[in-house]
Amino acid sequence: MRILVTGGAGFIGSAFVRGLLERDAARVTVLDALTYSGNPANLEPVAGRPGLTFVHGDIRDAGTVDEVMPGHDAVVHFAAESHVDRSIDDASPFVTTNVLGTQVLLDAARRHAVGRFVHVSTDEVYGSIEKGSWTEEQPVAPSSAYSATKAASDLLALAHHRTHGMDVVVTRCSNNYGPYQFPEKLIPLFVTRLLDGGRVPLYGDGGNVREWLHVEDHCRGVELVLRKGRPGGIYHIGGGAELSNRELVERLLAACGADWSSVDFVADRKGHDRRYALCADRIREELGFAPRIGFEEGLARTVAWYTENRAWWERTGGNALTAART
Ligand code: NAD
């Protein structure tokens, strides 16, 4: 199988590519624009493998996409602007990459009769839920420009299935954590700052609730959907640990040998969703998916990785960059 992976130099895309190539499970072309969060070092463990081709290019560029697309059996589309805070500051790259870029890819995949298109999305498209959990039938009600553009791209992908009969599948996952995550998102930002003895910013009262899934479990779910998902289907990839940000920070402080005196409570994020929760019955019942990495183990492994890979995160500059904004 030959797979085009967009955003394959980012946090989740690179984990997906490393996983496939380490098992010799496919040949892979990575298409990535190497924005601030894309990093060729994320692919170093598999660099030089004969199954890997890297193309430095933008999914918004129809000419590039048209050149790269032919010969692939499937597209797994991770490329996106992915940080909510950045979308509050400036929504325009979110609209062009997440919406327009997805449209460019769908058009090219249809023109070149690519077999399957897996569109990777997020629980954030549903907005906020106080109790219970969302099924895949829940209508989207996004709160931020990030989630609004992801919702728009999900709908475009599904429309290509309905209108053109394209073999499109959409996945929606909860918050991911693990190695190689650009240190602007909560876990790598807090861990890298705490390892340096620095201070960490916690939004509002810290009562926002998220589900946390290890990135390798997410990637295993995406691969299952790629190989066995129903055309036109939406699959939640969930079943991770549900924690308030306070509960998460408590664990991060303990893991890094710090305490609450390192935490600054800062003004809440604008439009901050209170809680996300996915019902993951469908992927479990249809495809036999269940997470394998428990949160305590996954978090310990993640903290160990950032401890041992200081050179990786110092070179990203992400920690200092976020310090300027909080
Ligand atoms: P990331 O920001 O780490 O990586 C995004 C990648 O896309 C980078 O390599 C970047 O260079 C590339 N990219 C951005 N714009 C591009 C463009 N115009 N053309 C080509 N490449 C471009 O993001 P991530 O956390 O790895 O997220 C990957 C996908 O998973 C996104 O679609 C995101 O919405 C989704 N997702 C993320 C999470 C999470 O917790 N991080 C949870 C659920 C879903």
Q: Is the CB of 38 under 6 A from ligand 1?
A: yes
Catalytic-residue membership of 124: yes
231-95-222 Cα angle (round to 5): 30
Report how far Cα 173 is from the mean position of its chain's Cα atoms: 8
Percent of the chain topping pLDDT 90: 96
Alpha-carbon gap, residue 95 to 100, rounded angstroms = 7
Percent of the chain topping pLDDT 70: 98
Q: What is the pLDDT of residue 267?
A: 94
Tokens 């989630």 found at:
147
pLDDT band at 320 (very low <50, low <70, confident <90, very high): low
The predicted-structure confidence for 5-24, as pLDDT tens digits, reads as follows 999 999 999 999 999 999 99
- Who contacts 214 (Cβ-Cβ below 8 Å, separation ≥6)? 176, 177, 178, 240, 291, 293, 295, 298, 302
Q: What is the pLDDT of residue 325?
A: 46
Architecture in CATH for domain 177-210+240-274+293-320: Alpha-Beta Complex (3.90)
Q: What is the pLDDT of residue 322?
A: 62
Residues of the chain with CATH 3.90.25.10: 177-210+240-274+293-320
* Mean pLDDT of the region 66-80: 98
Q: Answer whether residue 321 shows pLDDT above 90.
A: no
Angle between helices 295-308 and 245-255 (to 10 degrees): 50
Q: Answer whether residue 283 shows pLDDT above 90.
A: yes
CA-nearest residue for atom 1, ligand 1, is 10
Q: Is the CB of 183 under 6 A from ligand 1?
A: no
The predicted-structure confidence for 178-221, as pLDDT tens digits, reads as follows 999 999 999 999 999 999 999 999 999 999 999 999 999 999 99
User: H helices within 167-228, ranges in order?
Assistant: 186-195, 215-228
Mean pLDDT of the chain: 96
Residues of the chain with CATH 3.40.50.720: 2-174+215-237
Q: Is the CB of 5 under 6 A from ligand 1?
A: no
Catalytic-residue membership of 276: no
Among residues 33, 124, 118, the alpha carbon closest in space to that of 80 is found at: 33
The catalytically annotated residue of 32, 58, 81, 123 is: 123
130: which strand partners? none
For residue 78, how far is its CA from the centre of ligand 1 (angstroms)?
Answer: 5
* φ, ψ dihedrals at 42, nearest 5°: -65, -20
* Mean pLDDT of the region 62-82: 98
For residue 96, how far is its CA from the centre of ligand 1 (angstroms)?
Answer: 14
The atom number, within ligand 1, closest to the CA of 35 reads 11
Q: Answer whether residue 120 shows pLDDT above 50.
A: yes
Architecture in CATH for domain 2-174+215-237: 3-Layer(aba) Sandwich (3.40)
Q: Answer whether residue 261 shows pLDDT above 60.
A: yes
pLDDT band at 323 (very low <50, low <70, confident <90, very high): low
Q: What is the pTM of this model?
A: 0.97
The atom number, within ligand 1, closest to the CA of 57 reads 20
Q: Answer for the pair 240, 291: CB distance below 8 angstroms, yes or no.
A: yes
- Who contacts 307 (Cβ-Cβ below 8 Å, separation ≥6)? 195
Among residues 112, 45, 2, 157, the alpha carbon closest in space to that of 31 is found at: 2
Q: What is the DSSP letter of 4?
A: E
Q: Answer for the pair 238, 213: CB distance below 8 angstroms, yes or no.
A: yes
pLDDT band at 326 (very low <50, low <70, confident <90, very high): very low
